[in-house]
Structure formats: structure tokens, C-alpha cells
Amino acid sequence: MRALTLRLYEDLLPAGCPPVFLPATPRALYVVDGGLTLEGPDDGQWLTAGTARVSQDCTTLIGDQTDTRIWRWELTEASTPAAPALPSAPSTSTTLKLEADVALDPRFDWLMRCDEVGFPPGGVALTHVHQGPGIRICASGEISIETQGTRHTHAPGEAWFELGPAPVLAPTTEDTPTRFVRCFLLPRAVRSRSSIRYVRPEDADAPKVQTYRVFAERDIDLPA
């Protein structure tokens, strides 16, 4: 198994800040508020609030004339320390929301996916597993995660890690709709397919209330 670490940061880029340069590593970037342009070696893409990009190349962040807040997931070697700030960008601020060690089977090739899951009030994700690990963050509403004998409730801005093969039951608040954004790692054979599997046969056939929107996914090379 490859010893790697997945981290989720929240970055704040003030209006008009100079371009920010990020080194190459598998990463997903999701724009929470505002907007920015992402430039890679061969292309560029404008992202507005509620959109995301996945890449593993060196990336340039070019902010807008408004304040921009992004969630940034990065996969690195386990020995790579967390970065307390964006490189050479003193006008920005960075918060490490969560980090988790992940062990990926080297017999698989892997991809990184960034997507969004939404629930109506009182919706629940029935007991399930996934094909790989990932970090989620609540964007609105409230969700409880029951797994491995524990239960934790997450409000907007709070993140959690799911191992993948460990069963999870996820009820949400009855007061409002709930939405979370996630970045997770999956075998490439799962490309363009759902990664969820229900533990109990009766749940597999039960009506599902959650909705999904895949923002981006791409094949990645694991950090050396």
C-alpha cells in the first residue's frame, strides 16, 4: 500500500491579489464564493462559485476583483508537511480544515473526483461503502456520519474523512436541505460510474433521495 496524505485547505484570496503559483500534485479546487481563473501548462479555465477543477499539474490562481474563497484538496506523500500558507502569497490566508492518511492499493490505477451530494430535509444516505477514501465538507444544512461505532454531526464548513470500505449511515437535518462537497480517490475503472454500494440488500432496492453532481474527475499519478 502507498502511504499518502490527503488534505483539505480553505484559501481566501482578496480582491485583486497577485497570481498565486501552486506546485504540481494531484489536487481538486472548488470555488465556494467569488471566482477565479486557473491556468495550467496547456490550458486555462474560469471557475465561478459552485464549480471545481481537478488536475495534477502546476497551477496558477488568478483572482477576480472580488474576494474569493476556495476549498483545496491535495494528495501528497505522507512525509510531506502541511503547508501553512499559499506559497509567496502574503495577501492570502489559508486554513487547514482536515488531513487524513490514506493507503492506496498499488495494483490499481487511480483517479481523483470532486463532486457534490444534496439531500432534501430529513434525507438519509442508507448504510453504504465506497470504492476509495476521501474528505467531505458540509456546504449547507447538517449531516451526521455514523461509522465504526461513532457518530459525529457536521455543520456548514466542517469536514470529515471517510475510509471507503467502512460502512457509513448518513442522516441529515429535518430543518433544511443539506449539501456537501467531497474529493475522493477511486480506481480508474470507476470513471463516470457511481462508487456507492449498499451494505444491506433491502437498502439497495429502496428509493434514494440524494442527488449527485460530478464537477470534475481525472486520472492521477500517485506522488512518488
Instruction: Read off φ and ψ for residue 33, nearest 5 degrees.
Output: -140, 150
**Look-up of cell digits 480544515:** 97
Q: Are 94 and 86 in contact (CB under 8 A)?
A: yes
pLDDT in tens, 49-89: 999 999 999 999 999 899 999 999 999 999 999 999 999 99
| Burial (Cβ within 10 Å: 0-12, 13-18, ≥19) of residue 37 | middle
pLDDT in tens, 112-155: 999 999 999 999 999 999 999 999 999 999 999 999 999 999 99
Name the H helices within the chain.
Answer: 201-204
* Domains, the chain, ordered by start: 2-104 (2.60.120.10), 110-220 (2.60.120.10)
